[in-house]
């Protein structure tokens, strides 16, 4: 359905989370952000990006400005996840001189 796997997963999560109030999702997102500050990991950053995408989808019709803010945050967290993965990947580490 979607070309971006993160958007596809967010869409699926949005459908599953329809019964939860937005405030609950937002509170869970803030909790994840606090956890990330303690131990930065790519998986946590991806989870936060997904949460913000779900929030953006849920707010798109009622508050377009807020939806844009959530989407912007989702993109920042996706970029942060990519940075975390790049830091740990030995394939992209600079060659060491002997």
User: What pLDDT was estimated at residue 7?
Assistant: 82
User: What pLDDT was estimated at residue 65?
Assistant: 95
pTM: 0.80
Domain extent listing, the chain: 5-86
Q: What is the C-alpha to C-alpha distance for residues 58 and 40, in angstroms, rounded to an integer?
A: 27
User: Exposure of 44 by Cβ count < 10 A (0-12 exposed, 13-18 middle, 19+ buried)?
Assistant: buried
pLDDT (tens digit, 9 = 90+) per residue, 42-93?
999 999 999 999 999 999 889 999 999 999 999 999 999 988 888 764 443 4
User: What pLDDT was estimated at residue 96?
Assistant: 46
Q: Is the pLDDT of residue 95 over 50?
A: no
CA–CA distances in Å: residue 51 to residues 41, 76, 83:
16, 12, 19
Q: Name which residue leads in pLDDT, 95 or 5.
A: 5
Q: What whole-number percentage of the chain has pLDDT above 70?
A: 87
């Amino acid at each position: 359905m979607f070309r971006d796997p993160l958007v596809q997963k967010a869409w699926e999560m949005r459908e599953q989370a329809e019964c939860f109030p937005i405030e609950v999702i937002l509170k869970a997102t803030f909790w994840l952000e606090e956890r990330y500050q303690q131990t930065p990991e790519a998986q946590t950053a991806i989870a936060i990006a997904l949460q913000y995408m779900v929030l953006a989808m849920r707010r798109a019709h009622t508050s377009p400005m807020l939806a844009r803010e959530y989407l912007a945050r989702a993109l920042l967290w996706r970029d942060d996840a990519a940075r975390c993965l790049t830091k740990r990947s030995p394939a992209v580490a600079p060659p060491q001189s002997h």
